[in-house]
Amino acid sequence: MDLYEHQARELFAAHGIVVPRAEVTDSPDRAREIARGLGGRVVVKAQVKTGGRGKAGGVRLAADPVAAERAAREILGMDIKGHTVATVMLAEPVDVEREFYLSYVLDRSAGRFLAIASAEGGTEIEEVAAERPEAVVRVPVDPAEGVTSAVAARVAAAAGLPAQSVDVLVRLWEVLVHEDALLVEVNPLVRTTRGRIVALDGKVTLDDNARFRHPRPDGERAASADPLEARAAAKGLHYVRLDGEVGVIGNGAGLVMSTLDAVAGCGARPADFLDIGGGASARVMADALSVVLSDPAVKSVLINVFGGITACDAVADGIVRALEEVRLTTPLVVRLDGNNAARGRAVLAARAHPLVEQATTMDGAARRAARLATAASTAG
């Protein structure tokens, strides 16, 4: 489960990482009062679980409480990559001397975590990583050792970070371990003109499988859920919304993860993780397609199913029946393999829906879905 920025910052503060004072609201009038309490001049930030808020106009500097109210009124209700802004966070601004990047992320292929750091943080970190990969340091973390002060010092030195960041590296690792997180990220981590090291923004993804160890009030849990994730959960679907354009549906977590990797390997970004498990009935497929297609960022959908106990012809029948309930306006690529795959392909071929096409391999399906998504994005 992804957290909102303000929730990530709360975890950081609880583990001793310095963050600016801030408060969250869904009311422009309350935003004015918060700004007054924070000294007048504030940064107003949309609280959505996606990147690109600044470029979309969801982050604004307000010079006084009246400007803060106006900014909050304009940001609330804004659509940012398919996410509607329901709350804003008002934070005291800091005078930045330099920006850095820090994160710990699970490397699933290697079965360990990676420390990722750069002396060039900020909104352009993705461009830095793509154009000058040598500027971003990736250090494997031994799970048995963790991140000690010595390990943190090696990471900081390799990335060219200031000595004060060593303590943040250690504390950020504590956040990951104690909160059962899969990702913790600070971007940017800044050095202020007064020499303080402060986390200005944060991103945290928690492991849902460890939720039982971190009981939270029902209201807090509901408030932190993405609307589409909440809708999928109500239908009994295992769905996680991602920041991409290719919707992914599969049966089995391992197969879905492999499909996400295949899509990424074709130069596209997965828009979701949706595991229908062993059930591929018409009801399940209709619900799955309905959820995935409700994400306006989705430009194509890839269904990747390996027939086992549930045979591929039953899956195909479920897809055909689902198409009677769901109005398909986005291209759909289907790859069926395993038990009764040939029969399943024949069922889909007989339906001959103009927006549905088939592929025989996962890589081929991923390439086609990526191309369709790219073409749709270009045309749009």
User: Looking at the annotation, which residues are catalytic?
Assistant: 101, 185
Strand partners, 240: 273
User: Residue 15 has which token pair?
Assistant: 């583990």
Which of 11, 1, 10 has the alpha carbon at shortest distance from 173? 11
Separation of alpha carbons 331 and 365, rounded Å: 12
Six-digit token string for 154: 């090696």
| Residue appearing with tokens 């199913």 | 305
Tokens of 91: 């934070």
Classify 302 as helix, strand or coil.
strand
Quote the longest CA-to-CA distance of the chain.
70
Report the distance separating Cα 139 and Cα 150, nearest Å.
Answer: 13
d(CA 209, CA 129): 31
- Do the Cβ atoms of 319 and 349 come closer than 8 Å? no
d(CA 172, CA 176): 6
CA distances from 341 to 89, 136, 195, 344 (A): 51, 44, 63, 5
What residue has token string 């935003």? 31
Class of residue 143 by CB neighbours under 10 A (exposed 0-12, middle 13-18, buried 19+)? exposed
Q: How far apart are CA 184 and CA 233, in angstroms?
A: 24
* Amino acid occupying residue 148: T
Q: Count CB-CB contacts under 10 A for residue 134.
A: 7
Between the alpha carbon of residue 248 and those of residues 50, 302, 311, 378, the distances in Å are 18, 5, 19, 20
SS3 call for 376: helix
**Cβ neighbours for 276, distance < 8 A, ≥ 6 positions apart:** 237, 238, 249, 250, 251, 284, 285, 288
